Structure 1
Amino acid sequence: MNFQKEKELVRRCYAAADSADPSDIGTILAEFVSPDWQWRGFHPFNELTGPQDVADQFWAPLRHSLTRMQRRMDVFMAGLNETDGFESTWVVSMGHLMGLFDTPWLGIAPTGKMAFLRYCEFNRVADGKIVETAMYFDIPHLMMQAGLNPFPPQTAAHLVQPGPMTHDGLLFEAQPVEEGDKTLASINAMIGDLGTWQLGLPLEEELARTWNDDMIWWGPAGIGATYTIERYAKQHSGPFRAAFTDRSKTNHLCRMAEGHYGGFFGWPNFTARHTGGFMGMPASDTPGEMRVIDIYRRDGEKLAENWIFIDLLHFWKTQGVDILDRMQRVPRT
């Protein structure tokens, strides 16, 4: 399969909805999605159903806030879903939604300046319609652009994240099947090593089995990005593993690859109990849910870049901390 029809459907949907007046987005979406479209988004949106509900709750308010919005894609791909036996077809895009932050959104005060909302979207296509979507976006990064600091200082760096170093992530044309198979195998090898953090090797040796030494891990705001295996181990993976226990098994709803790119998402991916220290927060006896999207670029036999979207607002809400409510009561710096 080359997935060209599915890719074209999603691209036409983007072109029509992104250029529509906010009041018309629901009608536009109805041309491309099923009436019972299942949409999953980060907190506070969570699960929505049908084009009008998604338009009213998410797209119209966002478009009113980020005026003159542009979709700036860095990765676009499609593939069959390994988790259902390669039965369903998914089209994935990743990048930024950029606009002028002119009116409040989610209680975040506008700046009147350019703002970037990191996003990644998985769309399941069946019978010529988008029937299911996971739309993940980095709200804390938007907060930071508005002068708010929702979390204590992060262990790594966070920027407006670039796309792939190779500038070849927009797979509008069909890709060799064997390259996607190699990428999916590399992702699965990494997941197999990850397991429940009990492979038994020193962390850097474990990572070196499936990652190139000059890997880049583009983490979400609050954690940040880090470069090379050594710094990734010190600045995220090591501290993260040390701060959690009772990690559940991985539960992906979709895992796919095309060409040198691939990724997955879960709802949630896994649960774990926070023993204290992660992002400067106290411990909790309540298991927290990690809703995650990971997008990968493979170079050779190993993974080279990884873009991560974690619903930290939802995770911390399960731990009794409402970041959105707290930030609305903090003056902007």
Structure 2
Amino acid sequence: MSEYLQHAKSVVADYHRRLDETLASVPDQRSAAGDDIAAALASSITGDHLWRGMHPFYEQHGAHAVADVFWGPLRAAMAPLQRRVDVLLAGDNDADGGATTWVCSMGHFLGLFDSPWLDIPPTRRALPLRYVEFSRVDGDRIGESALFLDLIAVMRHAGHYPLPPTTGQPGVYLGPRTADGVLAEPQDPDESAATLELAWRMAGDLDEANRVAREQGSDRMPRDVLARCWHEDMLWIGPDGIGSSYTIDRYQQQHSYPFRFGLADKEFHGHVARIAEGCYAAWFGWANVTNRPRGGYLGLPSSGPAEMRVVDVYRREGDKLADNWVFIDLLHWLSQQGLRPLERMRRLVGIEEF
């Protein structure tokens, strides 16, 4: 199986190479049309490829749709684009009993934000666009993918941050402390299994705490529950809008308690992909969880149930987790509550039609 995981990573690396060559070019007219991008995608993906993107992109099918809706407009706004990868891992999907194989790539795209994107005004400065991408590899092609970005960070860079101040620190997007996240060589399967078991056990602790909270009417999670699976100097790297937290105590104060106190009726819905390789693990859902804002979380009022599409990427160090990179499709979550930050921004910058 390690040979197939290496093959899966080579398929994704080839896809990156072909796509990135087109993204690094600057279109003559900076047009949103991307026939060359569609051709690059078509050379790497299956004919019935399913692409999942964050709000406002959502699900697309086939190379031309993905190029027209996402990659073409992005390149038109930020060319030339380069990809900087911090983490790359592959694994058989624990969420479907190993029936599929997925590759996770995480890092940044770097571009010159010279033209509007989603009507976000350009800064004419270098923009690091944080991303994580999951790719399901079928033979020599990619049959399904999901791409998460930190769009609220782009709005913040452009001076249109749409939310009240964060509880964590925005802008802290560090790669692995050990600088070993790109797993080019085969990894010990026992190490991979240990990483996935630890991450899944940590998630189980959270589920148990949610159950106890419902029964006892308290959202307090004892510190020692977190310390079972996390290093004392853990780094939780959250999306803009929430921010990042360093150490168990600050994570508890700046993310765990606001999340637990501010959101009720949490219900887990499973993952599309859940993989591990070596000391790294990653998973995502569509959607992972639903919850009900009680009022106060992210400075927002109470609301009805809303779903969260979440990515977690973990690094294990020894017998505990040290790093956790988190992406949440917050714009989608907000849209279910009748809140549309992109539309509000368009009104503020004087764009009448949206």
Q: TM-score, normalised by structure 2?
A: 0.91
2:80 aligned residue = 68
Tell me if 1:321 matches 2:321. no
Separation in 2 of the partners of 1:107 and 1:202?
41
2:52 aligned residue = 40
Tell me if 1:198 matches 2:211. yes
SS of 1:205's equivalent in the other structure is helix
| Residues 203-222 of structure 1: CA deviation (Å, up to 9, x unaligned) | 32211111111110000000
- Give the 3 Å change call, closer, same or farther, for CA 243–153 of structure 1 in structure 2: same
| Residues 199-249 of structure 1: CA deviation (Å, up to 9, x unaligned) | 577432211111111110000000000001100000011111101111112
* Amino acid in structure 1 at the alignment position of 2:87: V
Deviation at 1:95, TM superposition (A): 0.5
1:235 aligned residue = 254
2:19 aligned residue = 17
Deviation at 1:250, TM superposition (A): 4.0
**Within-5 A mapping of 1:127-146:** 127-146=139-158
Deviation at 1:143, TM superposition (A): 0.9
| Residues 82-134 of structure 1: CA deviation (Å, up to 9, x unaligned) | 01001110011000111000110001010111001110001000121100101
Percent of aligned pairs with the same residue? 47
2:29 aligned residue = none
Q: 2:237–2:245: 8 Å Cα contact kept in structure 1?
A: yes
2:295 aligned residue = 276
1:150 aligned residue = 162
* Amino acid in structure 1 at the alignment position of 2:148: Y
* Amino acid in structure 2 at the alignment position of 1:13: Y
* Amino acid in structure 1 at the alignment position of 2:42: A
| Residues 170-219 of structure 1: CA deviation (Å, up to 9, x unaligned) | 01111111111110011110111111623577432211111111110000
* Amino acid in structure 2 at the alignment position of 1:215: M
Unaligned runs of 5+ in 1: none
**Within-5 A mapping of 1:283-322:** 283-284=302-303, 286-322=304-340
SS of 2:236's equivalent in the other structure is strand
2:131 aligned residue = 119
SS of 1:6's equivalent in the other structure is helix
Tell me if 1:55 matches 2:55. no
1:262 aligned residue = 281
* Amino acid in structure 2 at the alignment position of 1:325: E
Structure 1 runs of 4+ with >4 Å offset:
none
1:178 aligned residue = 190
* Amino acid in structure 1 at the alignment position of 2:6: Q
Separation in 2 of the partners of 1:137 and 1:9?
22
Q: 1:199–1:206: 8 Å Cα contact kept in structure 2?
A: no
Deviation at 1:45, TM superposition (A): 0.3
Q: 2:331–2:340: 8 Å Cα contact kept in structure 1?
A: yes
Separation in 1 of the partners of 2:181 and 2:141?
24
RMSD: 1.4
* Amino acid in structure 2 at the alignment position of 1:316: L
